[in-house]
Structure 1
């Protein structure tokens, strides 16, 4: 019997959707995100994006940025909550699976690495860190995705790390969170203040060779991420850490790799770039929904 799933990745910058039939992508679509421009129209935006797909689908799988709780999603950067689950059920009229986007990416990378035979012991633990607009995370511990009822779980960008100089306030309300030091948003904001003019994250990487202040800023960002990875190793005992996101896979990756290699042996991990590319979140929630449905079938 044919199975068709709509898998959607809802990010702060873009929203992408895949129509997946029996494990193969039939069609894909993408639009700019409305989270910061029209948050309350998000569900309708997703429904319009999937026009013509809904009638074919058996299931809706959503990987969404933010604090994904049982019936609401808290969008931390927008400081608002939305009853997104109820809105999606009313519009799509399909069974729904929804998890955090970085958690979905963690699940995708775990599935991919497991298929490649990376896990040869029973712990099967992996930490995923995405560095783009913000800093997110997902944790696979002993083959299971780590989650919590309040949705504030494995939000690794909101772990504080040592930082020299003036404290940097994060939008969550604490100082010196990794997101406030190493996200693309933070890098661009801090660089713009240093140079006295607006610059993008991409420009920072281009200008750093001629601007010592920017070189120091990126070094601080890499140090923050390295501290986070060392902490993650201490929490989980993970062997693999995957660093993704547009900023995470940039030159910052190599800076982190260099710093990580200088840590004591107990903190060493294998640092990897994502295998599943820009579709990791959508594939992750798709595979997660498949496992969820298989478990439900067994229970019945």
Structure 2
């Protein structure tokens, strides 16, 4: 039995779609998971790709809908124009430009729909229900295949003027001529050194074995020196990037979500050491870096809060 005023939330990735019915207080009462082909839409026309996205989300949502649902919040990978629900662009589906995602779904489902960047949704979720609860200012970092970031300033999500604020994964942490190439086309980005993809790649270069990141973690926890060194190095690079953000923003709470926090005991000390080494003296030892308290639900619960924030 659910209460009037439940919200439907969607957390969307390239190959998976999670939908949940969420009650006040962030209580998930029903959830579905659907495999998607969004990562394979790049070969379609912009119109066909947009329609495929709308159809997939609406079909997945319908079993969870009834008269008590007051709206749908969506976390989607890409850049949104403020609180308009318009997807300006998405790195994984490059032909999409100025796609009216929220409006299209609202028409299809006959209900209010709000959409925002998935990493910003994770920040909202962590500030509303997780390790950042009660913080007026929060930097949230998502560690996965890539690295994303979301920012809460003065108790409000911050998107920037064109929806591209907190592209944390593309802060530069190496400036040498041989700095690693990032997927964005530039060299030296933290994503090229500390993402799950980067950890797997760097281990393969050292060991000759191409392993999934979770296997690299397991080896590190079993005492494998190469694996442990790579994970600790990832923590160092993350700490450097966090320091650059803190010098700009002067906020004291950072939360991190994603599969990589499974190696927290190895990541955290190197992050903190690098962070404090790079901060200016008055900022040192004042910043907390916390693992997510929501596991993989930060983005989903943040999406459910979009109706409250209207962003």
TM-score normalised to structure 2 length: 0.81
CA contact (8 A) 2:257 2:291 kept: yes
Give 1:106's aligned residue.
Answer: 123
Q: 1:170 to 1:33 in 2, by over 3 A?
A: farther
Q: Deviations over 1:88-130 (max 9, x none)?
A: 23422321111111111212222236996x55xxxx2111111
1:245 aligns with 2:258: yes
**RMSD across aligned positions (CA):** 2.7
The unaligned stretches of length 5 or more in structure 2 are 43-48
Query: After superposition, where does 1:186-225 map in structure 2 within 5 Å?
Result: 186-208=198-220, 209-212=223-226, 214-225=227-238
Give 1:233's aligned residue.
Answer: 246
Measure, in 2, the Cα distance between the counterparts of 1:4 and 1:113.
19
3-state DSSP of counterpart to 2:160: coil
3-state DSSP of counterpart to 2:261: coil
Give 2:53's aligned residue.
Answer: 42
Measure, in 1, the Cα distance between the counterparts of 2:144 and 2:132.
27
Q: 1:146 to 1:46 in 2, by over 3 A?
A: same
Deviation at 1:237, TM superposition (A): 1.0
CA contact (8 A) 1:141 1:236 kept: no
Measure, in 1, the Cα distance between the counterparts of 2:156 and 2:179.
36
The unaligned stretches of length 5 or more in structure 1 are 294-300
Residue among 16, 19, 34 paired with 1:17: 19
3-state DSSP of counterpart to 1:253: helix
Count the aligned residue pairs. 287
Q: 1:53 to 1:188 in 2, by over 3 A?
A: same
CA contact (8 A) 1:243 1:274 kept: yes
CA contact (8 A) 2:131 2:255 kept: no
1:147 aligns with 2:159: yes
Give 2:105's aligned residue.
Answer: 88
3-state DSSP of counterpart to 1:189: helix
3-state DSSP of counterpart to 2:188: coil
Q: 1:203 to 1:66 in 2, by over 3 A?
A: same
3-state DSSP of counterpart to 1:50: helix
Deviation at 1:216, TM superposition (A): 3.9
CA contact (8 A) 1:77 1:171 kept: no
1:52 aligns with 2:63: yes
Give 2:46's aligned residue.
Answer: none
3-state DSSP of counterpart to 1:7: strand
TM-score normalised to structure 1 length: 0.84
Deviation at 1:139, TM superposition (A): 1.0
Q: 1:85 to 1:287 in 2, by over 3 A?
A: closer
CA contact (8 A) 1:108 1:287 kept: yes
Residue among 31, 34, 46 paired with 1:31: 34
Give 1:296's aligned residue.
Answer: none
Q: 1:166 to 1:204 in 2, by over 3 A?
A: farther
Deviation at 1:59, TM superposition (A): 0.9
Q: 1:113 to 1:9 in 2, by over 3 A?
A: closer
CA contact (8 A) 2:130 2:298 kept: no
